[in-house]
Amino acid sequence: MRIPSSHTKILVLEAEARYFGILVKKPSESAAGPPRRRRRALHIALLVVGCVLFIDALVGDKGLLAMLQARQQYRDLEQSLAEVRAENADLREEAERLREDPTAIEELARRDLGLIKPGEKLFIVKDVPTPNGR
Protein backbone atom coordinates (compact mmCIF):
# COMPACT_ATOMS: atom_id res chain seq x y z
CA MET A 1 0.00 0.00 0.00
CA ARG A 2 1.34 3.32 -1.05
CA ILE A 3 0.95 6.45 1.17
CA PRO A 4 0.26 9.71 -0.74
CA SER A 5 3.13 12.22 -0.65
CA SER A 6 1.09 14.88 1.18
CA HIS A 7 0.45 12.44 4.04
CA THR A 8 4.13 11.53 4.08
CA LYS A 9 5.09 15.17 4.58
CA ILE A 10 2.61 15.50 7.44
CA LEU A 11 3.94 12.35 9.11
CA VAL A 12 7.54 13.56 8.77
CA LEU A 13 6.62 16.96 10.21
CA GLU A 14 4.76 15.34 13.11
CA ALA A 15 7.76 13.13 13.84
CA GLU A 16 10.12 16.10 13.79
CA ALA A 17 7.79 18.09 16.04
CA ARG A 18 7.69 15.23 18.55
CA TYR A 19 11.47 14.92 18.44
CA PHE A 20 12.00 18.64 19.16
CA GLY A 21 9.19 18.78 21.71
CA ILE A 22 6.98 21.15 19.73
CA LEU A 23 3.25 20.94 20.28
CA VAL A 24 1.48 20.75 16.93
CA LYS A 25 -2.27 20.86 16.57
CA LYS A 26 -3.75 18.92 13.73
CA PRO A 27 -6.02 20.91 11.49
CA SER A 28 -9.62 19.94 11.94
CA GLU A 29 -12.89 21.35 10.75
CA SER A 30 -13.87 22.75 14.16
CA ALA A 31 -10.54 24.53 14.57
CA ALA A 32 -11.13 26.64 11.44
CA GLY A 33 -13.81 28.71 13.22
CA PRO A 34 -11.91 30.47 16.02
CA PRO A 35 -9.06 31.87 13.87
CA ARG A 36 -11.63 33.31 11.47
CA ARG A 37 -13.51 34.89 14.36
CA ARG A 38 -10.26 36.31 15.74
CA ARG A 39 -9.27 37.60 12.32
CA ARG A 40 -12.68 39.22 11.86
CA ALA A 41 -12.51 40.76 15.35
CA LEU A 42 -9.04 42.07 14.51
CA HIS A 43 -10.33 43.60 11.28
CA ILE A 44 -13.21 45.25 13.12
CA ALA A 45 -10.86 46.56 15.83
CA LEU A 46 -8.51 47.97 13.18
CA LEU A 47 -11.45 49.58 11.40
CA VAL A 48 -12.65 51.21 14.64
CA VAL A 49 -9.14 52.46 15.46
CA GLY A 50 -8.79 53.80 11.92
CA CYS A 51 -12.12 55.62 12.18
CA VAL A 52 -11.15 57.14 15.52
CA LEU A 53 -7.82 58.33 14.11
CA PHE A 54 -9.54 59.76 11.02
CA ILE A 55 -12.10 61.66 13.10
CA ASP A 56 -9.34 62.94 15.39
CA ALA A 57 -7.38 64.10 12.33
CA LEU A 58 -10.43 66.08 11.21
CA VAL A 59 -11.71 67.64 14.42
CA GLY A 60 -8.97 67.13 16.99
CA ASP A 61 -6.86 69.82 18.62
CA LYS A 62 -4.40 69.71 15.75
CA GLY A 63 -6.85 68.45 13.16
CA LEU A 64 -7.87 69.77 9.78
CA LEU A 65 -10.62 72.08 11.05
CA ALA A 66 -8.32 73.61 13.68
CA MET A 67 -5.67 74.14 11.02
CA LEU A 68 -8.17 75.86 8.71
CA GLN A 69 -9.34 78.12 11.54
CA ALA A 70 -5.74 78.97 12.41
CA ARG A 71 -5.01 79.84 8.77
CA GLN A 72 -8.05 82.12 8.62
CA GLN A 73 -7.02 83.81 11.86
CA TYR A 74 -3.49 84.23 10.47
CA ARG A 75 -4.86 85.90 7.30
CA ASP A 76 -7.04 88.22 9.39
CA LEU A 77 -4.09 89.17 11.58
CA GLU A 78 -1.90 89.76 8.52
CA GLN A 79 -4.53 92.08 7.07
CA SER A 80 -4.94 94.04 10.30
CA LEU A 81 -1.14 94.27 10.61
CA ALA A 82 -0.92 95.70 7.08
CA GLU A 83 -3.61 98.27 7.95
CA VAL A 84 -1.83 99.27 11.15
CA ARG A 85 1.50 99.57 9.32
CA ALA A 86 -0.10 101.82 6.68
CA GLU A 87 -1.66 103.99 9.41
CA ASN A 88 1.70 104.13 11.19
CA ALA A 89 3.41 105.27 7.98
CA ASP A 90 0.78 108.01 7.51
CA LEU A 91 1.26 109.20 11.09
CA ARG A 92 5.05 109.29 10.69
CA GLU A 93 4.66 111.31 7.51
CA GLU A 94 2.31 113.76 9.22
CA ALA A 95 4.65 114.07 12.22
CA GLU A 96 7.59 114.78 9.88
CA ARG A 97 5.54 117.37 8.03
CA LEU A 98 4.56 119.06 11.30
CA ARG A 99 8.23 119.18 12.39
CA GLU A 100 9.46 120.60 9.07
CA ASP A 101 6.67 122.80 7.68
CA PRO A 102 5.28 125.75 9.72
CA THR A 103 2.31 126.14 7.36
CA ALA A 104 1.23 122.58 8.26
CA ILE A 105 1.14 123.56 11.94
CA GLU A 106 -0.90 126.68 11.10
CA GLU A 107 -3.34 124.66 9.00
CA LEU A 108 -3.78 122.11 11.80
CA ALA A 109 -4.31 124.85 14.41
CA ARG A 110 -6.95 126.60 12.28
CA ARG A 111 -8.77 123.39 11.36
CA ASP A 112 -8.76 121.49 14.65
CA LEU A 113 -8.48 124.22 17.28
CA GLY A 114 -10.34 127.08 15.51
CA LEU A 115 -7.45 129.56 16.05
CA ILE A 116 -7.14 132.76 14.00
CA LYS A 117 -4.30 135.22 13.36
CA PRO A 118 -4.30 138.62 15.05
CA GLY A 119 -6.37 141.06 12.99
CA GLU A 120 -8.49 138.36 11.33
CA LYS A 121 -12.22 138.19 11.88
CA LEU A 122 -14.11 134.96 12.32
CA PHE A 123 -17.53 134.64 10.72
CA ILE A 124 -19.77 131.73 11.71
CA VAL A 125 -22.38 130.99 9.06
CA LYS A 126 -25.42 129.01 10.11
CA ASP A 127 -27.76 127.31 7.70
CA VAL A 128 -31.15 128.94 7.68
CA PRO A 129 -34.10 126.70 6.88
CA THR A 130 -36.13 127.64 3.80
CA PRO A 131 -39.72 128.80 4.30
CA ASN A 132 -41.27 125.56 3.00
CA GLY A 133 -39.35 123.46 5.62
CA ARG A 134 -36.57 122.05 3.54
Q: In the structure, what pLDDT confidence band is assigned to residue 1 with cuts at 50, 70 and 90?
A: low
Q: Is residue 26 part of a domain?
A: no
Task: Write out the residue range of the structural domain in which residue 75 sits.
Answer: 54-114
Q: What's the chain's average pLDDT? A: 82
pTM of the model as a whole: 0.47
Is 44 domain-assigned? no
> In the chain, how many domains are there?
1
Split at pLDDT 50, 70, 90, the class of 29 is very low
Q: Where are the beta strands (DSSP E) in 81-125?
A: none
Asked whether residue 14 is assigned to any structural domain, the reply reads no
Alpha carbon distance 39, 45 (integer Å): 10
In a domain, 12, yes or no: no
Say how far apart CA 8 and CA 93 lie, in whole Å: 100
